[in-house]
């Protein structure tokens, strides 16, 4: 009887062990997920002041000279990097610098996680993209596609998605890279040789594409 019992106990313990081993990844996943959700919730609370300019879900509000960029659905790594660049004074826009300076690095990380967790929406109001300019721009984006994708959906999370972004903002960003107001080694050299006409056409091309930032109607 005795050996049999021990065997039984051994099998029982083995089974428990197997169940635990099998459950461990699920448990780790659940912990990671709940951490992710709490980061999103924290990020959301930190963005109440941003809504005035970036819109209720992070998109669709106009600014006098160009449209405030869509951030809902943008790549997390890129967003974090962009916020850190305002903090490091590598980008100029004063309000964004002030916002980024007034927050901790932890705050900026949670904000990036929150914006990236949102879905971009179809924009129904102006601004629109121009179809003829988009067609002209399609011929100019061969180099850009290596990082931003042929259709404006970035090939890696450290690059921004451009699909569906406001054309006026894309032009503005390219102008800032060209003038050096926005500092980024790759983009400073990419924008160096573009004419204003090229920038407008390229911006309209990427704006006309559909992606996680949502879609713009055409003109
Ligand atoms: C006064 C209006 C205003 C407010 C308030 C504001 N933003 Fe911005 N934000 C802008 C503008 C305009 C730009 C583009 C500036 C530029 O060209 O560098 C921008 C750029 C950004 C970018 C970079 C987007 C990209 O594609 O590179 C991020 C991320 C961002 N804002 C997040 C925030 C967060 C988070 C807050 C709140 C803590 C906030 N913004 C508050 C107007 C605003
Ligand atoms: C080698 C990779 C690479 C190539 C090629 C490239 N980009 Fe970029 N692009 C980047 C990176 C990285 C950033 C983010 C830079 C920063 O942090 O300011 C960026 C940012 C941008 C932005 C700003 C987006 C925003 O939300 O603020 C625009 C617009 C842009 N690129 C357009 C272009 C165009 C147009 C071309 C082709 C002429 C091009 N890029 C080629 C890597 C690249």
Q: Please identify, by atom number, the ligand 2 atom nearest to the C-alpha of residue 174.
A: 29
Check residue 90 and give its pLDDT.
95
Chain centroid to CA 195: 27
Q: Which two tokens stand for residue 69?
A: 């960029």
What would the pLDDT profile of 37-66 be if each residue is shown by its tens digit?
A: 889 999 999 998 898 888 765 555 566 688
Peptide linkage before 204 cis (omega within 30 of 0) = no
CA of 40 to the centre of ligand 2 (A): 26
Q: Is the CB of 140 under 6 A from ligand 2?
A: no
Peptide linkage before 127 cis (omega within 30 of 0) = yes
Q: Is the CB of 137 under 6 A from ligand 2?
A: no
Q: Is the CB of 120 under 6 A from ligand 2?
A: no
Q: Please identify, by atom number, the ligand 2 atom nearest to the C-alpha of residue 82.
A: 17
Residues near 138 by Cβ (< 8 Å), separated by ≥ 6?
A: 205
What ligand is nearest to the CA atom of residue 170? 2
177, 188 contact by CB (below 8 A): yes
User: Of 15-19, 123-127, 129-133, 201-205, which has the strongest mean pLDDT?
Assistant: 201-205
More confident residue, 35 or 147: 147
Q: In whole angstroms, give the CA distance from residue 34 to residue 60.
A: 30
Q: Please identify, by atom number, the ligand 2 atom nearest to the C-alpha of residue 177.
A: 18
Residues near 128 by Cβ (< 8 Å), separated by ≥ 6?
A: 216, 217, 218, 219
CA-proximal residue: ligand 1, atom 36 (nearest): 50
Q: Is the CB of 70 under 6 A from ligand 2?
A: no
CA of 26 to the centre of ligand 1 (A): 37
Cβ burial, residue 183 (10 Å; 0-12/13-18/19+): middle
CA R_g for the chain: 23
Above 70 in pLDDT, residue 149?
yes
47, 71 contact by CB (below 8 A): no
Q: Which two tokens stand for residue 29?
A: 């996943």
CA of 26 to the centre of ligand 2 (A): 38
Give the whole-number percent of the chain exceeding pLDDT 70.
84
Q: Is the CB of 184 under 6 A from ligand 2?
A: yes
CA of 145 to the centre of ligand 2 (A): 10
Average pLDDT of 170-197? 97
CA of 28 to the centre of ligand 1 (A): 34
Q: In whole angstroms, give the CA distance from residue 40 to residue 113.
A: 6
What would the pLDDT profile of 72-123 be if each residue is shown by its tens digit?
A: 999 999 999 999 999 999 999 999 999 999 999 999 999 999 999 998 876 6
Residues near 99 by Cβ (< 8 Å), separated by ≥ 6?
A: 49, 50, 86
Q: Which two tokens stand for residue 60?
A: 């669709």
211, 163 contact by CB (below 8 A): yes
What ligand is nearest to the CA atom of residue 98? 1
């Amino acid at each position: 009887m005795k050996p049999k019992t021990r065997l039984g106990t051994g099998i029982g313990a083995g089974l428990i062990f197997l169940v635990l081993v099998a459950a461990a990844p699920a448990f780790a996943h659940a912990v990671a997920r709940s951490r992710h959700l709490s980061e999103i919730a924290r990020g959301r609370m930190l963005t109440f002041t941003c809504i005035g300019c970036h819109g209720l879900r992070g998109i669709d509000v106009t600014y006098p000279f160009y449209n405030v960029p869509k951030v809902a659905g943008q790549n997390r790594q890129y967003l974090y990097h962009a916020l850190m660049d305002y903090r490091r004074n590598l980008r100029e826009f004063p309000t964004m610098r002030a916002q980024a300076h007034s927050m901790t690095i932890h705050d900026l990380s949670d904000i990036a996680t929150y914006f990236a967790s949102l879905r971009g929406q179809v924009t129904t109001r102006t601004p629109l993209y121009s179809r003829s300019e988009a067609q002209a721009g399609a011929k100019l984006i061969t180099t850009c596609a290596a990082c931003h994708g042929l259709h404006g959906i970035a090939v890696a999370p450290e690059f921004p998605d451009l699909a569906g972004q406001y054309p006026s903002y894309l032009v503005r960003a390219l102008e800032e890279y060209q003038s050096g107001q926005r500092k980024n080694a790759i983009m400073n050299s990419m924008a160096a040789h573009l004419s204003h006409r090229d920038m407008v056409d390229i911006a309209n091309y990427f704006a006309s594409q559909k992606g996680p930032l949502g879609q713009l109607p055409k003109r």
